[in-house]
Amino acid sequence: MSDTNKKIVLIGAGSTSFGPPMFNDIYLSDVLEGSKIVLHDINEEKLEMIYELLLVENEKRDNKFSLERTTDRIKALNGADFIINSIEVGDRMELWRQDYEIPRKHGSTQILGECGGPGGTFHAWRIIPPMVEIVRDAEKICPDAFFINFSNPMSRVCLAIKRSVKNLKFIGLCHQIGFMVEHLPKMFNKSINELKMKVAGLNHFAFLFGLEDLSMRSNLIPSFNLKAMKYFKEHDDRFEFSTLTFEVFKKFGYFPYVGDNHLGEYLQFGEEFTNTTDMIDWIDYIDREGEIVYEKFLKYYKSLKRGKYPKKGILNKIPSGERAVPIIEAIINNENSYENAVNIPNDNIVDNLPQDLILECSATVNKNGVHGVKVGSLPKNIAALLRIESTIQDLCVEAILKESKELAINCLVIDPNVGNFEMAENIFNEMLELQKSYLPNFK
């Protein structure tokens, strides 16, 4: 057994959508064997279900870990070494549909409404206040802990963390880079371990700037640029790379790796190159997937209660692809490993974007944490695109931290998918009426 003996806290552990990949990766880790895993959630019923299922899984693995659960955040955080967070506020899908539909009802051209556009702004306004409480507690209770955030809107949530705590080490992680992890080996007939990406931008709004063949030590970007349009058109996917991605790549010269539905959230011309039905279908798809995962866990839980728990259990032998556990292992082992994409403060990583900004960029990981790979200055056209969104994110977070109605409406009106005060005020007023119990007390 490992002598690691770390304390890892999972915040939002009652969520079956967050839980499965994270639990699976932890159970596959030999480095973390012997650690204490604390499950924390404010929903006691769902937390208990997950806890009882994992107790069985842990017993099947000779109690590889020590498992605890608590609804008390202070107790959960006490002595934590690593905190992995994925929370939502309220009924995620009901609120997401409001985020999408209400701005469009008042004339906004936004698509999706999850992380960008006025819908993404309201999402941020709901989730950032409890996130600020969590990280401030963490800084007081376990100041040396390393905090990993999965909650969206990633860039805005992480910017609020940066402005709310001074010393807590944190990163944000998103699996959108997984599209490239899947496609690049097929493009170049190489394993992903032979390829090294260099990326930069904002979460869900980032670009590929470097690609190296590690075995040959050669620059593959010229070859990628020649192959990409043909390859991705042959693999056109309305939920990944499609018309909008191709248009941005063609007009701006750099490949956005995040998929049409996310990329379009930040662009005034996003609606022009995406189909409304695709966006609604994506929200419906996420809703269905969440229900399927929840029903699967509920079925196993009912079987457990009847004393007929399936032998195969709920875990499998394949890592999820999420990077939280590999990063934790790299910190513990001082591996100096490389991560293709993380979300961290811009600490002179990109020169021509605001330093008070959360970048999605490549990074190295060692015992001292996660360190962004220096990019220098981005191409001016790409930097111009990103600065528009960074300005909105700046106002979005300040509006929350200052509970300022004026800044909130200013944030909406400068969004490229709004553009006038009447629309901004109409969206703000209706959304405030619908979501008042979840939003800051704007004054």
* Element containing residue 27 per DSSP (H, E): helix 19-28
Q: Which residue has the tokens 């007929």?
A: 308
Specify if 5 maps to a domain: no
Four-residue CA torsion sign, 392, 394, 399, 404: negative
- Name the residue range of residue 110's domain: 91-121+173-274+322-443
Pull the structure tokens for residue 259.
């998929």
Residue 436 lies in a domain: yes
Looking at the predicted structure, is the pLDDT value of residue 3 above 70? no
Residue 1 pLDDT more than 70? no
Strands 66-70, 36-40: pairing is parallel
CATH number for position 404? 3.90.110.10
In a domain, 163, yes or no: no
Q: Model pTM?
A: 0.96
Q: Residue 422: is it exposed, middle or buried by C-beta count within 10 angstroms (0-12/13-18/19+)? A: exposed
In a domain, 26, yes or no: no
Q: Region 112-136: what's the mean pLDDT?
A: 98
* Rounded mean pLDDT, 401-419: 96
Please state the domain count of the chain. Answer: 1
Identify whether 395 is part of a domain: yes
- 12 and 47 in contact (C-beta within 8 Å)? no
What CA–CA distance (Å, rounded) separates 64 from 58? 6
User: What is the per-residue pLDDT across 326-365, written as a single tens digit (0 to 9) for each?
Assistant: 999 999 999 999 999 999 999 999 999 999 999 999 999 9
